[in-house]
Chain A
Amino acid sequence: MTDVVMPQMGESIVEGTLTKWLKKPGEHVERDEPLFEISTDKVDTEIPAPASGVLQEVLVEEGKTVAISTVVGRINEAGGNGASAPAAAKLAPAPAPQPQAPPPQPSAPPPPPRVAQPQAPPPPPVRAPEPQPVVYAEVESSNGPLSPLVRKMAREYGIDLRQVKGTGMGGRITKQDLESYMSAQGARTMAQVTAPIAPVQPAAVQAAPPPAPAPPPSQAVTPIYTSQQAAPAMPRAESPRARVEPMSTMRSKIAEHMILSKRVSAHVTTVHKVDMTKVAKMRARYKDEFNSRYGFSLTYLPFVIAATIEGIHQFPIVNASIEGNNILYHNDINIGIAVALENGLIVPVIRQADEKNIVGLQRAIVDLSTRARSRQLKPDEVQGGTFSITNFGSFGSVFATPIINQPQVAILGVGTVEKVPVVVDDAIAIRSVAYLALTFDHRLIDGALADQFTGKVKSVLENWSQEVL
C-alpha cells in the first residue's frame, strides 16, 4: 500500500487544494500517470501517481484544502484483486511508453514573418544649436509624480526634466518622452558637428530591439545611446556615398555576441609555430584511399581536433566555463568548428569529439559544414560547445586572434599550412609549417597553462604517427 500525499510545490507553500481526482477508487493507475489535480494561487498542477496499482481509497475529497504531506489517498500495488479495475486497465493501458514517432521540430505553424520593424518616431526637427542649460538631474517635473524608471533615466543621462514635455496621464513624463527628448538632443548634438545630416534615430534603435535579444546588461540602453552619440558623424541616408541596409538577424546576433565576448572575457592570444610535416605526410599517404572509401577528402582539421582533445585531457580547464565564482569543468568535450557562410558564420558542434577517430571527426566536419551552408542545422547542433576551433588558414591567413565563443574560455585558430625553409640540425630543410593561435580567457587561464596546452597540441601534431586508416 502506498500513501498518496499532498506534495509540496514550492518553498513557501504550506497547503494545497485538491481540485480533482483523475481516477476513481478501484481504478487502476500507472506510476507517473496523472492521478489528481491541485490548485495553488492560479496554478493548477497535475500530480502523478507515486506507484502503479489500484487507487484503494480517497481520503480527501475534491475541493478540500489540506496541509502538504497530508495523505490524500492510498494505492494498492498488489492491484490485481481490485475487482473490475484491472480489466479496464488492461484495455486502456495508461500512458504506456508508446513507441513515439521521433517528434521532429516543434510543429509550429509557419509563423508570419515578424521582423521588428524599426518604427522611427517622426524625426525631431533639427534646430540651430542653442545653448543648453546645465543638467539638473534630480529636478522634479511640474507634471506630477515620476516613475522610478523615468527618474533613473533622467539621472543617468543627466536630463533636465523641466525641458521634457510629458505626454502620459495628466502630462506625466513617460519613458517615451525621455527617449524622444534624447533623440532630439542627439540630433541636435550631431547637427552641431556636421551641418547637413539626416536625423539620427537612436530612439528607434532602442525602441525596436533586435528580436530575441540576449539578456541585456542591466542598462541596455546606455551603450546604444553612447555609441550613437559618440560615433563620428558618418554620411548617411541621403548621401550618395553610402547605401543603407538593415543588418540581417544573423549579423546583429554576431555583432551582439562579439561585443559581449570582448566585454566578458579577458582575451589574450598566444601563437605557436607547429611543424605539420608528419601530419602532411600522413594525409598525403591516405588522401586518395580516404576519398575513394568515404567520398570526402581528408583535411588537416581532424588532426588538429584530435591533438586539441589530447591537450584538453591534460589541461581540462581549457574545456571549462565560468559561472559566477565557480569553474565548470565540462565532462563532455564538444568541439565547435567555425563555418564561414555567405554572409556570416556559424559554429556547429561535434559532440563528444573525444570518442571519434580521424575518420569520424572528418565525417562530422563534412556533415556539419555542409548542412551549415545549406542552412539545415538543428538548433541543438549549434549549442553546447565547450571549446572552439576556427580554421582561418583555409582562407590563407597565417595567424589571427580569434574571439572566444561564449561561454567557453578558449578558442584555437589554425593558420594556413605552408612549406617553408626551416633550420633543422643546422641544416636548411623544407617543412610544412602552420601557426596555432590560442585565444584564452585570462580570467581563468594563466599564460603558462595556455602555452603548456598549446605546446601539448603542437607536440601531438609534430609527432603524429598514428595511421589514419
Chain B
Amino acid sequence: MIRTGQLQDLGRIGYAEAFSLQKDLADQRKRGLIPDQLLIVEHPHVITLGRNGHMENLLASEEVLRRAGIEFHATNRGGDITYHGPGQVVGYPIFDLREWKRDVVDYVRTLEQVILDSLGEFGIEGGRVPGCTGVWVSGKKVAAIGVHISRWVTSHGFALNHTTDLSYFQYIVPCGITKPVTSMRELGANPSRDQVVGALVRNFSKQFGLDFIRQDQPVEALTETF
C-alpha cells in the first residue's frame, strides 16, 4: 500500500524558524500524530555547523560574516560545515524510517538517489564519491547532505544548488572537504524552482513509496476522490 506523506513548500524561511518547525514536526512524527513530512525551503544566507563540525572550516570571522549579511548556526545534524542561501533548494524530510527501512546508510544513499534522478530529469548526470556523501558532478559537489536521526525519525536533509551564488562558499570549507562546489545553473540546466521541486518530490515518492499531499492546499484536495 502506498503510504501518504505531507509536503510543504515553505519558500523563503529563516534557518532558525525552519529548524524549530522541523523539531516540532519530528516530535509529532515520533509520537505518531502525523505522517511523514517533506519540507522544502530556501534559506537566506546562513552558514551552519554540524555536530561533528570543525570551526576551522569556517574561513571567515563572525565579524566578516555579519558584514556579509550571513547568519551562523551550530546544529545537531550530521556532517561538517555548510552554506545555505537563495537559489538553493533545501529539503527536510521528517520520515519515520521504521516505516521504510531501519537503515541510516541506506537512507542517505536513497536521498542521493532522489537527487541524482531529479538532476537526470534536467539532463545532468551526477554521481557519488565514495566517502564523500552528497551528489557530485565531475568532481564538484552540487548537493550536500546532513541528517539527524532520533528514534528513527529523520530531520535535516539536503541542499541542492539550483541557482546558488557559489561565491558564498568561499567563506567555508564545505563539509570539511576541499573540493569545489557547483550548481545546476553552472551545469547548464535552467529549470524553474518549481520544476526542480516537482522533480524532487516525484523522486521522493518513487524511492520512499510515499504519495505526497501538499499541506498548503485545502484539505479537500487531499486524497481518495473517485
Give A contacts to B, CB under 8 Å.
Answer: 9-13, 19-20, 32, 34, 37, 39-46, 48, 100, 103, 106-109, 111-114, 116-117, 119, 147-150, 167-169, 172-177, 207-209, 211-216, 220, 248-250, 253-254, 257-258, 261, 321, 323, 328, 336, 338, 341, 344-347, 349, 372, 375-379, 382-383, 385, 388, 390, 402-407, 411
Contacts and interface: CB of A to CB of B under 8 A. Distances in A.
A42 to B, nearest CB: 4
Top 5 nearest A-B pairs by Cβ distance?
A: A10-B103, A174-B123, A111-B216, A215-B205, A44-B78
Given A43-B78, A213-B205, A347-B225, A108 B125 contact: no
A42 B194 contact: no
B93 interface: no
Given A43-B105, A109-B17, A344 B123 contact: no
Contact of A42 (B35, B146, B202): B146
A6 B34 CA distance: 29
Interface residues of B, number: 81
A44 B50 contact: yes
A376 B220 CA distance: 8
Interface of B: 1-2, 4, 6-11, 13, 17, 21, 24-25, 28, 31, 33-35, 37, 50-52, 76-79, 101-108, 120-125, 133-134, 145-151, 187-192, 194-195, 198, 201-202, 205-206, 209-226
A375 B221 CA distance: 10
A42 B133 contact: yes
Contact of A405 (B6, B102, B224): B224
Contact of B224 (A39, A216, A383): A383
A463 B187 CA distance: 72
A376 B102 CA distance: 35
A377 B220 CA distance: 7
A323 B3 CA distance: 12
A10 B226 contact: no
B206 A383 contact: no
Contacts of B121: 149, 175
17 contacts: A9-B105, A32-B151, A40-B105, A43-B149, A106-B24, A107-B24, A108-B215, A169-B187, A208-B194, A211-B7, A214-B205, A215-B210, A253-B221, A257-B226, A344-B220, A385-B224, A406-B226
Given A44-B149, A211-B7, A253-B222, 15 more contacts: A43-B78, A44-B50, A45-B104, A106-B34, A111-B9, A114-B9, A176-B123, A208-B194, A209-B202, A211-B214, A253-B221, A321-B1, A336-B224, A383-B4, A407-B2
Nearest to B10: A111
A347 B37 contact: no
A250 B221 contact: yes
Contacts of B24: 103, 106-107
A108 B198 contact: no
A390 B121 CA distance: 40
Contacts of B211: 214-215
Given A103-B28, A250-B220, A253-B225, A43 B188 contact: no
Nearest to A149: B120
Contacts of A254: 225-226
Given A147-B124, A261-B226, A323-B1, A44 B148 contact: yes
B123 A175 contact: yes
A450 B188 CA distance: 57
A44 B190 contact: no
Nearest to A321: B1
Contacts of A261: 226
B199 to A, nearest CB: 9
Contact of A44 (B77, B123, B216): B77
Contacts of A388: 224, 226
Given A116-B198, A405-B224, A43 B104 contact: yes
B123 A46 contact: no
Nearest to B17: A109
A111 B215 contact: yes
Given A149-B121, A209-B198, A215-B202, A382 B223 contact: yes
Nearest to B77: A44
Contacts of B209: 215
Given A45-B149, A208-B194, A211-B214, A149 B123 contact: yes
A44 B8 contact: no
Contacts of B192: 119, 207-208
Contacts of A407: 1-2
Instruction: Tell me which of A173, A250, A338 has the highest count of chain B C-beta atoms within 10 A of its own C-beta.
Output: A250
B189 A168 contact: yes
Nearest to A175: B123
A172 B123 contact: yes
Nearest to A12: B105
A9 B104 contact: yes
A304 B182 CA distance: 62
Nearest to B207: A215
A208 B197 CA distance: 10
Contact of A34 (B28, B106, B150): B150
B222 A13 contact: no
B189 A174 contact: yes
Contacts of A376: 219
Nearest to B11: A112
Contacts of A169: 187-188
A41 B108 contact: yes
Contacts of B51: 19-20, 37, 39, 44
Contacts of B190: 176
Contact of B106 (A11, A258, A375): A11
Given A42-B147, A114-B216, A220-B202, A108 B226 contact: no
B226 A338 contact: yes
A401 B150 CA distance: 48
B198 A48 contact: no
A106 B8 CA distance: 10
